[in-house]
Structure formats: structure tokens, C-alpha cells
Amino acid sequence: MIPEFGHFSLILALGLSVALAVLPALGVYRRDSLLMQTGPSIATGLFVLLAFSFGCLMYSFIQDDFSVAYVANNSNSALPLQYKISAVWGAHEGSFLLWTLIASGWTLAVAAFSRGLTFDMKARVLSVLGILCAGFASFLLFTSNPFDRNLPFYPADGGDLNPLLQDFGLIVHPPMLYMGYVGFAVPFALAIATLTTGRLDAAWARWSRPWTNAAWAFLTVGITLGSWWAYYELGWGGWWFWDAVENASFMPWLMGIALIHSLAASEKRGVFKSWTVLLAISTFSLSLLGAFLVRSGVLTSVHAFAVDPTRGVYILVFLVLVIGGSLTLYAWKASGIQSEAQFEWNSREAMLLINNLLLVVATASVLLGTLYPLLYEVITDGKKISVGPPYFNRVFVPIVCLLFVAMAVSPFSRWRRTSGDVLLRQHWPFLLATPVVICLVTYLVATGIDLIAIGVETLAVWILVLLARHWWQAGSISSASQLGMMLAHAGIAVAILGVVVTITYSEGRDVRMNPGESIALAGYDFTFEGVQKVRGPNYLADQAEFNVTRDGEFVAKLRPEKRFYSVAQNVMTEADMEPGLMRDVYVALGEKVGDTAWAVRVHVKPFVRWIWLGGLLVALGGFVTLLDKRYRRVRGLVSNNVVGTAA
């Protein structure tokens, strides 16, 4: 019965989302204040229904109800409980139910926490969010129902969750990603709502900022976790492959950064207002495009969900309606919006403009590279081409280095104009000392001097050093917003350092080893003790033991495994590593070679953890800005520019 309850709840949720789309909007049209205020209660009901539906699906997993097709395809009675739960979002239908639930969650949050919005604006915003929720719910019901039963012949046991997904990463990575993807619907809805009023003012920007920062911070966590998960799970020491699915999350993230900065300029200086609206539409559009790419089968990827063209067509139609509709509205309504104050080339506005322009170029480049194989195949009628990491690295890195330069100097810029050569006059000793110190350290510690690495490291350290100098000069941090900015910028610098050091100075070797043999790498000694058979809850494994020492001192005992999952008939390499702040020591087990020897992969990866620690620091910065007191004060007057009631 429970799956039927879940299904029914989903149907009711569709109904409510349509109501949410229609009733408040009707209230705006008819200037009926009562109708306008129905939004929050409908939103509450919508969330409750979806949460219940999601709960029913989770219950089916926990109870091993294999009469539900989705459960049978993705679970197994021998699956550990935590993976049964996370299997709920392990494949397309369930993960999209989670997506829709999160959408209703953000909608409810907007309904609850928008005391600063007029009734009119709130109604418009909730209406837009209702349209989106209705779209998601109908997609679920008509093409991807997680509650489909496979009666009357259902299997005695399930097909098991893909062993790659039986991991902590699955528990956290998708929910965080979806919080980010879907969260961008809020600034999107605010932008659309504002366009419909025909009036673009600083209030819109102020309302949008906390929502944008929160969504972006969640997406940062999601991407960071994804990279970390790939690193320890996939067994070859990589953490980013510019895979279509990774890019699908990276593009809204990049655009989100542009949006955050542009909103700041729009709120504080009233500049770029029309452009910021376009950014808000584009960021969420990239989220939707990402969902399309991952779920439609149009692009090739290990991560992509199973191919089903019907779903792809449905999502594409949804994209056309939502994005096409919003861009049409933009073209029509944004014409009348003039903003621009004027600023000088070294002002904060100019810095933010650089930020936006470079990020848009970077995003467009990633989009071009991601879609190019598809475009090429369509145009040449069948010829295939690949665009991979060499292209993306070559194109993306220089653009982003320019951005780092701007980032380093930006704390010193002032709105409208920055006086004189503040930067050079006051800070030149630090700027000059940085590359010198880095060269010295590299010479003493590392195996060789790589000029590009030194250059990028210099940029990253400049960012950190200048942030610190700025703080020192100011004496104190004036607000949570400023603290958040500093943490986020520092986090980026930390992550950059991690990336550049690990790429340049990692060492790895694939070797054939017999038990008892030892290999030296980057100052560490790896001694292969032997291999034994080990049994897990749903797998059988060959487990190797390695003793890692450095200068005779014990560092770690590593136990990489080669696992055989009996149900899925799949072999998995489970690498083992000794994590450290300054370096990771990493071993993966290959195939048996001959009678006694094994193929083994050994890595020493310096600074790799800095990448994800940096990422988490960035996210923390994003969340910290939400604590700013201006968001907590309930304003008596809604905003300076709004006079009278809804127009």
C-alpha cells in the first residue's frame, strides 16, 4: 500500500503546485490581496505532500519491497542499511523525486523567510516557483514514476546498487548538488517576478543576495564532495575529468559566482541591473540544462543516468518553455530598464565587471567544449570527435588566472573610483617577496622548478596575503558579508594552491611487485606484505597489505582491495590512502600477474587535500554571509524605491 500512498501523494502535489502557480498570480492580476496571500499555505502543503511521498519511497527501500520496480533495480536485501537509504537517490526516478522535494523546500523557505517582500512580489515569486514545481512533478508522474510496480511477477531479490555507489559519497554528494541546482530557482523566480512588474530596483538585488549565496554555497559543497569522492573511489588518483556531468554542475557554479558579484554591484550602486537579471536567468537555465544533459542520454558519460529519449524530449520541452519564456520576457521587459551610474576603470564596479566578463567567457568555453562533440556529430552526420581535459585545461586555466589577478587586487578597490596606486605603493614589498619566497621553498623542497606552477602559486598567495593586509589595515571586519567574502576568496586561493601543487608535483608509479618487495617513491618506502582474502557484507575481496615508511619511521599501513560483488557480478578497485594535510599516500591494487606478483599503483600526492579544504572554506564563506544583520532586521518600509502598492 505504501508505494500507492506515495504515488497518490505525488499526484496531489502536482495539483497543489498548479494551484501555487495559478492562485497567487491571479491575486496579483486581480489585485486581490486574499488570493495573493494563499501562497505560503499552498507551499506548505506542497512540501508536506512531497516529503511524505519521498518518505514512502524510502520506506519501500528499507523494507526491501521489490515489487516496486525502482527498488528492485537499485537495491538488494544484502545491501547495508545506509546504502539502502541513499539508493533512494541512486538512479534517475528517485533522484528526481529528491530534486522536486528540494524545490518545494526552497519554495517553502521563500514563503516563510521573505518578510521584506511586498505581498505582490511574494505572490509573483511563489507563482513562478509553483510553475517550476508543477513542471518537475509532472515530469515525474508522466515519464519517471518511482512508484511503478512490476507486478505480478516481481523478483525475489533486487539487482543491487552499483558498487561504485555503495559509498558515503552517494549519501551526501547528490543532495548537496540538488540543493544548489534547485536553489538557483529562487533568484530566477525573483528576477522573473521583477521583470513582470516592469520595475527594476535595488530592492530586488538585496532580496536575491542571501538566496543566491546560500544556493551557491550548497553547490560548492556538492562539487567539492563529488571531486573528493571520485578521487578515493575511482582508483586512479584523479579528482576532475571535465566529464560532461561534472561540467553540468560546474557551469551553474561559475555563473553563480558572476551572479553573486553582480548582485552586490546592483544592490550597492544600482549598476548592471538589467545584466544581473539576465545572469539570474542564465544561472538557473544552466542548472536545468545540466539536468537535461545528465538525464537525456544525449551526452556520453560514465555518470549519466540510463538513456531514455522520451524523458529527454520532455525535459527539452520544459527547457524551451521555461528558458525560452524567461528570455522572451527579458527581451520584452528589460528594454525599459536603464540603470547606469558611472565608474572609473580601477573602481570596484570595474573589478566586478572583469569578474563577470571573465566568468561568462569561462562558462561559455566550458559549454562549448562540452557540447562540441554533439554539435560536430550532428553537423557531420555521424562523425565522432572527443573534447577532453587537454582542451579544457588549455582554455580554462588562462582565463581563470586573469580572474585571480583581479581577485587579488579587488579588496582594495573602492566604489566608483579607487584613489591612486594604493596597491603598488603600500604593498609592493609583499607582492615582490611572494614569488621569491615561493621559488626558494620550491627549490628546497621539491624536485624541480616549474615556472607556470610558480606563477599560479604566486597568484594564489597574493590573494591570501593581500586579504590579510586588507584586514590588517581595516583593523576589524565590518560585517558578516565582508567576513564571508574573505573566507570565500581565501578558500579559492587555498584550492588553487592545492590544484597547482598536486598537478605539478605528484608522483606515481605502476609496478609489478612480489610479496616482500619494496619500492621507493618521493621519499617514502612502500613494502608489499602480501594478499589475503576478505569477505564483506555483499562482496568478496583480495586485500593487500602495504607498510609505508619514511626514513625508517612508520607512516601508514595501507590495505587496498580488489572487490568482487556477487550480485552485480562486478569487480571494483578500492584504493587505500593515508590522508594528510601536506600529502596523500595512496596505493591501488591491480591484477595478479603470474603466480605471486601483483600489479600495483603507488602515488604520493602533495597538497591534494587543500583542494577540498579550500572548497569547504569557500562554502563556509558563502554561508557566513547569510548571518549579516541586514538580513535579520525586519524592515518597516519595504524599500526606498517602491511607492504605493502593486502596480
Partner 1 sequence: MVRILLVILLGTSFNCFAAIDAYPFPDEQLQQRYDGLIAELRCPQCLNTNLAGSDAMIAQDLRREVHRMLLDGHTDDEILTFMYERYGDFILYRPRLGAGTLVLWLGPLLLLMFAGFVWFRLARAKPEVHEINTEDQARLDELLRDSDP
Partner 2 sequence: MTFNKSLLIPLGVFALLVVFLALGFRLQNPHLLPSVLIDKPFPEFELEDLRQPDQLRTLADLSGEVSLVNVWATWCPNCLIEHPELLRISRETDLPLYGVNYNDDNGKALDWLARHENPYEFSIVDDKGTLAIDLGVYGAPETFVLDASGVIRFRHVGPVTPEVWQETILPVVEHLQGMSDG
Per CB under 8 A, does 313 bind partner 2?
yes
Site for partner 1 in 62-121 (CB under 8 A): none
Number of H-type helices and E-type strands within the chain: 20, 10
Per CB under 8 A, does 194 bind partner 2?
no
Per CB under 8 A, does 384 bind partner 2?
yes
Give the span between the Cα atoms of 110 and 192, in whole angstroms.
15
Q: Judged by CB, which is closer to partner 1: 218, or 586? A: 586
Question: What's the per-residue H, E or C state across 478-521?
Answer: CCHHHHHHHHHHHHHHHHHHHHHHHHHHCEEEEEEECCCCEEEE
Residues 25/123, Cβ–Cβ less than 8 Å: yes
Torsion angle of the four alpha carbons 172, 177, 178, 184, in this order, in degrees rounded to the nearest 10: 150
Q: Which does 63 bind (CB under 5 to 8 A by kind): partner 1, partner 2, none?
A: none
Q: Judged by CB, which is closer to partner 1: 380, or 596? A: 380
Q: Judged by CB, which is closer to partner 1: 460, or 600? A: 600
Per CB under 8 A, does 481 bind partner 1?
yes
Part of the chain binding partner 2 (CB under 8 A), chosen from 88-96, 141-149, 161-169, 313-321: 313-321
Strand 597-606 to strand 583-593: parallel, antiparallel, or no bridges (unpaired)?
A: antiparallel
Q: What are 80's three cell numbers?
A: 547495508
For residue 336, the minimal CB distance to partner 2 (Å) is 4
Name which position in 377, 510, 517, 591 contacts partner 2 (CB under 8 A): 377
User: Cell 558563502 identifies what position?
Assistant: 622
Part of the chain binding partner 1 (CB under 8 A), chosen from 144-152, 325-333, 364-372, 607-615: 364-372
Part of the chain binding partner 1 (CB under 8 A), chosen from 41-49, 170-178, 192-200, 478-486: 478-486
Residue 168 C-alpha from the chain's centroid: 17
Strand 561-565 to strand 570-574: parallel, antiparallel, or no bridges (unpaired)?
A: antiparallel
Name which position in 22, 26, 85, 371 contacts partner 2 (CB under 8 A): 371
Site for partner 2 in 280-299 (CB under 8 A): 281-282, 285, 292, 296-298
Q: Judged by CB, which is closer to partner 2: 327, or 446? A: 327
For residue 127, the minimal CB distance to partner 1 (Å) is 31
Residues 123/114, Cβ–Cβ less than 8 Å: no
For residue 580, the minimal CB distance to partner 1 (Å) is 22
Reduced to 3 states (helix: H, G, I; strand: E, B; else coil), residue 303 is coil
Q: How far is CA 603 from CA 242, 335, 579, 584, 600, in A?
A: 22, 57, 12, 8, 10
Residues 407/463, Cβ–Cβ less than 8 Å: yes
Residues 124/647, Cβ–Cβ less than 8 Å: no
Site for partner 2 in 325-354 (CB under 8 A): 327-328, 330-331, 334-336
Give the span between the Cα atoms of 603 and 509, in whole angstroms.
7
Q: Judged by CB, which is closer to partner 1: 5, or 236? A: 236
Q: Which does 282 bind (CB under 5 to 8 A by kind): partner 1, partner 2, none?
A: partner 2
Per CB under 8 A, does 414 bind partner 1?
yes
Name which position in 441, 534, 571, 647 contacts partner 1 (CB under 8 A): 571
Instruction: Kindly list the residues in this chain that would bind partner 2 in the complex (CB under 8 A).
Output: 278, 281-282, 285, 292, 296-298, 300, 309, 312-313, 316, 319-320, 323-324, 327-328, 330-331, 334-336, 371, 374-375, 377-378, 382-384
